[in-house]
Amino acid sequence: MESDLLGAMKIPKDALYGIATQRAVDNYNITGVRLNHFPEFIVAFGMVKKACATANHKLGLLPRDIYDAVDGACDQIIAGKHREQFVVDMIQGGAGTSTNMNANEVIANLALEAMGAKRGEYAKVNPNDHVNLCQSTNDTYPSAAKLAVVLKHRPLVTEMRALVKSLRAKGHEFRDVVKMGRTQLQDAVPMTLGQEFNSFAATLESDMSVLETVVERFGLCTLNLGGTAIGTGICADEKFSEEVIAALSGISELPLKSPEDFIEASSSTGSFLQSITGSFKKHES
C-alpha cells in the first residue's frame, strides 16, 4: 500500500515503481505503447538522474549514503536492467511528469533495497526530495529525450557509413553487368547494375551530409538541466546547472552544454523539429 494526497492504493508486490506511476498507468492508458518500448530513452533518463545525484552530492545537498545508493540504482538503469518497470504510456498529461516519476520511483526503490530498506519507505530515500532534487519534469524530460536521440544517432551514422561502403563495393563489382533501366515502372534504356548501386550509395551520402551535422546544428547537445519548471532555476542551487552538465558530459562522453537562455530552452521544441525538417528542406532545395 502507498498513499498520496489523493488517498491510498495497492501497488503490485514485484513493482519497483510506486503510486505516482500506478496512477499514470490507470489514467493514461491511451496508446498501449509503454516507455519500455524505447530503451535508449530509459538509459538516457538513467544518465540524467545519475548526473543530478552527482551534482547534488558535490553541492552538499545529498548525503553520501543516499548518493551512493541512488548512483548505484542509476547504474543499473543505464546497464539496461529493470526495463520492464517503466510502464507508463508514452502519451500522457503533464509534459512527461509520469515518465519522470516512473524513473524517480524505480530509482528510489532500488536505492532503498541497496540500503537494506523496504520498497516504499520513502522517508529514507524519497523519489521527489532526493532523486528529483533540484529538478523538474520540464528540464529532465527534454534533456533525456535529446540525449536519447544523440545516443541513437551515433550507431546510425556508423551503420550508414558501412552501408555506403558496401554499396560502393557492389557498384565496382557489378560495373560490367548490363541491365535495363526503368521509367514509369517499365523497361526503358540500358544501364549497368554497378551504376544503380552507386546511385544508391550517392543517395545515402547525400542524406549523411545532413545527418552527420544534425546534433551540432540543431542544439541536441544543449540541455536545459537546471532550469527546473520554467527556466528560472527555481528550487535549484544556483550552481546546479553547471555541475550537472559537467557530470552528464562525463557520463555520456558527449560535449554537452547549457543554453544561453534557459527560459527559451525550456519552452522550445525547435531542436527536435529542425532536426527532422532540415533533411526535407535540403532535398526540396
DSSP state of 158: H
* pLDDT (mean) for 100-113: 98
185 contacts: CB under 8 Å, gap ≥ 6: none
| pLDDT tens-digit readout, 21-59 | 999 999 999 999 999 999 999 999 999 999 999 999 999
Neighbours of 285 (CB within 10 A): 5
The answer to whether the predicted template modeling score (pTM) of the entire model surpasses 0.75 is yes
Per-residue pLDDT tens over the stretch 139-158: 999 999 999 999 999 899 99
CA distance 197 to 150: 29
Domains and CATH numbers, the chain: 2-133 (1.10.275.10), 143-284 (1.20.200.10)
What is the residue-averaged pLDDT of the chain?
A: 94
What distance in Å separates the CA atoms of residue 168 and residue 162, rounded to the nearest whole number? 10
DSSP 87-139: -SBSS-STTTHHHHHHHHHHHHHHHHHHTTPPTT-TTTS-IIIIITTT--HHH
DSSP classification of residue 279: H
CB 82 within 8 A of CB 47: no
Kindly state the average pLDDT of the residues 237-247: 98
Residue 275 has pLDDT above 70, yes or no: no
CA 21 – CA 94 distance, rounded (Å): 13
